[in-house]
Amino acid sequence: MISISPRQRTFGSYTADVLIYVIVLNLFVEHFDSVVIDSFTISIFTAIVLKILLDTIMAAEHSVSAYFAKREGPLARILRVLAVWIILFASKFLILEVIDIVFGEHVELGGFLMVIGLVVALMVAQAVFRKIYESLGDEPQSVE
């Protein structure tokens, strides 16, 4: 039996995610005129930056959500929803700004709504890939 270390698992996961992001990005470039990436190489680097950004944003969202989840009462629930919504909403502007700073005129992800669509497509594609990957795993063996 082959043993996979946590670092290998993380590397494989990040590699798969970046490849998925490259595919989704290039599909957006092909089908939406407002999304422009100058070259395939730049789309790979864009996918890497998006992976880092989205992981950071999701970690912040989970951390804030967990903080308010520990609190009791209706105010804590309202603050939790509000804080998560602000993070997820503001993050689209962050994504646009970081991509603009890093790539300048070489990458244009469209406007705010296009970035929302792109992020949703990236996350759905990632979830579908993981679901398929997990479904291909070995069935647990019963001991008799």
**For residues 24 and 115, is the Cβ–Cβ distance under 8 A?**
no
**pLDDT in the model for residue 2:** 77
Question: In this predicted structure, what is the pLDDT of residue 138?
Answer: 75
What tokens does 23 get? 């595919």
Task: State residue 1's pLDDT score.
Answer: 66
Instruction: Tell me, rounded to whole angstroms, the distance of Cα 122 from its chain centroid.
Output: 6
pLDDT tens for each residue of 58-91:
999 999 999 998 989 999 999 999 999 999 889 9
pTM value is 0.83
pLDDT of residue 117: 94
Mean pLDDT, 10 residues at a time, over the chain (144 residues)? 86 95 97 96 96 94 92 91 92 93 94 91 94 84 57
Three-class secondary structure of residue 79 per DSSP: helix
Q: Could you give the CA distance from residue 16 to residue 9 in angstroms, rounded to a whole number?
A: 11
Residues 46, 67: Cα–Cα separation, whole Å: 31
- The letter for the amino acid at 14 is Y
Nearest to 103 by CA among 43, 60, 61: 43
